[in-house]
Structure 1
Amino acid sequence: MDRTRREEVTGQQRRKGNQPRRSKKRWVTFTVACFLYIFVSSSLLIFHGPFSAVRNYVIDTFDETRHGYLLRPLSLFTVSNAAIEAHALAKNGMVSETTPISEIATRNYTNGDGAIHLYTYHGETFTAYIMVVDNPKRIRVAVTKYIGQNGETVQQMVNDVGAVAGINGGAFSDTNQQGTGANPLGITMHDGKVITGAGSTAKYPEIAFTSGGQMIAGDYSLSELQQKNVQEALSFGPVLVLNGQPVPVPDQGYNPRTAIGQTASGKVILIVTDGRGQYGQLGASMADITELMLQYHAVIAADLDGGSSTTMVYNGRLVNTPVDLTGARSVATSIVVMPEVGGSSQ
């Protein structure tokens, strides 16, 4: 009897000892199943649900923070790279009308027109750095020399072409959405030569400069740009100032931003802002940038690539504080300021 009782007690102890293990396994299995259900449901709701604003916000956030490569797995690979790239251009679509070129002065610029002025503006949620270039004919579009493979930082492009200053430029895509800036999107031109978009008849949101140093911005095809004798062009937007008046644009929150504009006298305005936690600052809104452009008398202005891309360099130094953990981000294009011909580079 004693032996039988001991065996019964031992069996009960074993069963009791196995219960916590089974409970733990069940809990882990239940937790994993719940996580997968929530993840799959959320992914389908965000990327394929009825809320297009939520979908666009998620794509914008990941794309602007250099984590676009996560969008494919987060969407369960139901969103293609082509769709992500198309969204990048679509969100920057502009108005078709632009400031008439005749309203921006053209003249024979001399060495006395070569000054570069750098200002700092402290807003409530951002710090802005404003560069004013007196001679618009010093403006060029620089393109990564590793096009199709990798981008370059603004400083590297400035060094490549012997410029004295530069800011990041337009939209780009890259291999596997790794944020390396390999391929400029839209139409890209330098010195009158077509870098990307050759043979295309489509219209893209373009920011460009003619041979006379006049800035134009709007939706243009390659043939339309060539008819206007455009020498430098890249793709981004939207337009912020048109004919000296602010253009209403959708609110995209507070971020580091980059923008370009021009006054009626031809001076070019380059603006970058810090944000996303830099020194406790959130960043600037589109309305903030528009207001700054108007304060500096822009008759036309447009937004450039922002977020982690936002960079300004001048005389070999980084002017702003990029938010990317690795420092200045690699991009596909930059807008650079060339040295004054026959005079000072300042």
Structure 2
Amino acid sequence: MFVRRAVRFILYSIMAVVYAFVLGSLLLFHGPFPAVRQYVIDSLETTMHGYLLEPLALDTLPEKVIQSAKPHLRDIQQASTHVVRENFLHSKTTAVRIETYHGSTYTADIMFIPDPTRVRVGVTKYIGKFGMTLSEMLNYYHAIGGINGGAFQDVQHWRGTGGSPQGITIMDGKVITDQQSSNQTVIALTNEGQLITGPYTLSQLQKLHVTQALTFGPTLVQNGQGMIKNGNGGWGYAPRTVIGQKSDGTLIFIVTDGRGIHGPNDIGASLLQMQNLMLRLGAVTAANLDGGSSSTMMYNGKLVNQPTDVLGEREVATAFLIFPAGN
């Protein structure tokens, strides 16, 4: 009798979960909540997990909606690959500074790194298998701070394992991945500490003496001008990670909250808001990095922001890491 009741309870529980999922999916994607529906779609696109949209919507959305949410690493408007070379090898100031900025829909943690040559790309040591959290990368590479980096593919589908970087990845001059595409945005640092961003090929990066690079995008600021001319950038509102550089070489890391983690007013930032904040801070170059639950900032062994992933820090494939002065 007990076994029969237990089996019945389990079956009823499974049926209830399935019913709730189906009902929730239909209400979300076909109910009277267009703003919420678009927010979910934008969030999936922002975090490069648009492939989840089809199963979440029970294969009921038009194909054009499914395709629009799939990963896109292209620039909002085509960034130039012509740059004026700068040399920031002789930066005198080394102190890292952190500030907080409150926007209308988000709160941002902003880190200023006066010496850009202290920043390098970190890559998961388990490449091809799974990623590492930012804190694990800091410990592994003996770095003192950093932010999450670029695009990655889940080796174990849907599980966010972050094992395989997408696009072009260069660490300390060594090419880690070389998946070239004509419209993918590469965010890179030259051997002289200059931040460049645009649809570069590997040969172009090598001619510019790039030693650190990863892929995401889009480019937000180039030559001191904002790249978003219409709308808000097209990816809705979400937690963001952004990198930029001022004319004196200072690198700017920005990570925002979102998804209501600090209250209903903190839904996240649009790409336009990140562009405008970078311009306000004096950035002459800036680009968007992987956002959503990947967005993480650390300094001196402590989390600066609160990641939105329910498990805390998310495993990622790459990061921009800050090393001690003189290293």
TM-score above 0.5, yes or no: yes
Does the 8 A contact of 1:170 with 1:184 survive in 2? yes
Does the 8 A contact of 1:138 with 1:337 survive in 2? yes
Which residue of 2 is the match for residue 73 of structure 1?
55
Instruction: Kindly provide the amino acid, as one letter, of the partner of residue 254 in structure 1.
Output: Y
Higher radius of gyration, 1 or 2: 1
Which residue of 1 is the match for residue 138 of structure 2?
158
- Structure (1 or 2) with the greater helix fraction: 1
- Taking the TM superposition and a 5 Å limit, the aligned residue runs for 1:126-275 are 126-174=106-154, 175-197=156-178, 200=180, 204-248=184-228, 250-275=233-258
Which residue of 2 is the match for residue 318 of structure 1?
303
Distance in 2 separating the partners of 1:142 and 1:337? 10
* 1:187 to 1:93, Cα distance in 2 relative to 1, 3 A: farther
Which residue of 2 is the match for residue 16 of structure 1?
none
Which residue of 2 is the match for residue 47 of structure 1?
none
* 1:263 to 1:284, Cα distance in 2 relative to 1, 3 A: same
Aligned length: 291
Q: Specify every segment of 5 or more residues in structure 2 that has no aligned partner in the other structure, as ranges.
A: 1-18, 31-36
Distance in 2 separating the partners of 1:233 and 1:56? 32
Which residue of 2 is the match for residue 327 of structure 1?
312
Cα deviation 1:84-116 (Å, max 9, x = unaligned) = 8994244556623057233xx414426x42111
* 1:176 to 1:107, Cα distance in 2 relative to 1, 3 A: closer
SS, match of residue 308 in structure 1: helix
* 1:242 to 1:69, Cα distance in 2 relative to 1, 3 A: closer
Q: Specify every segment of 5 or more residues in structure 1 that has no aligned partner in the other structure, as ranges.
A: 1-31, 44-54
Which residue of 1 is the match for residue 43 of structure 2?
61
- TM-score normalized with structure 1 length: 0.75
Instruction: Kindly provide the amino acid, as one letter, of the partner of residue 312 in structure 1.
Output: M
Distance in 2 separating the partners of 1:76 and 1:278? 27
- How far 1:322 sits from its partner (Å)? 0.8
Which residue of 2 is the match for residue 300 of structure 1?
285
SS, match of residue 220 in structure 1: coil
Does the 8 A contact of 2:185 with 2:200 survive in 1? yes
Distance in 2 separating the partners of 1:205 and 1:292? 20
Does the 8 A contact of 2:167 with 2:181 survive in 1? no
Distance in 1 separating the partners of 2:219 and 2:185? 9
Cα deviation 1:295-324 (Å, max 9, x = unaligned) = 211001011111111000000000001111
SS, match of residue 127 in structure 2: coil
SS, match of residue 224 in structure 1: helix
- How far 1:251 sits from its partner (Å)? 3.1
* 1:261 to 1:90, Cα distance in 2 relative to 1, 3 A: closer
Which residue of 1 is the match for residue 9 of structure 2?
none
Does the 8 A contact of 2:43 with 2:235 survive in 1? no
* 1:291 to 1:86, Cα distance in 2 relative to 1, 3 A: closer
Instruction: Kindly provide the amino acid, as one letter, of the partner of residue 333 in structure 1.
Output: T
* 1:184 to 1:86, Cα distance in 2 relative to 1, 3 A: farther
Which residue of 2 is the match for residue 278 of structure 1?
261
* 1:93 to 1:160, Cα distance in 2 relative to 1, 3 A: farther
Does the 8 A contact of 1:68 with 1:178 survive in 2? no
Does the 8 A contact of 1:64 with 1:308 survive in 2? no
- How far 1:75 sits from its partner (Å)? 7.1
Does the 8 A contact of 2:73 with 2:218 survive in 1? no
Distance in 1 separating the partners of 2:161 and 2:76? 23
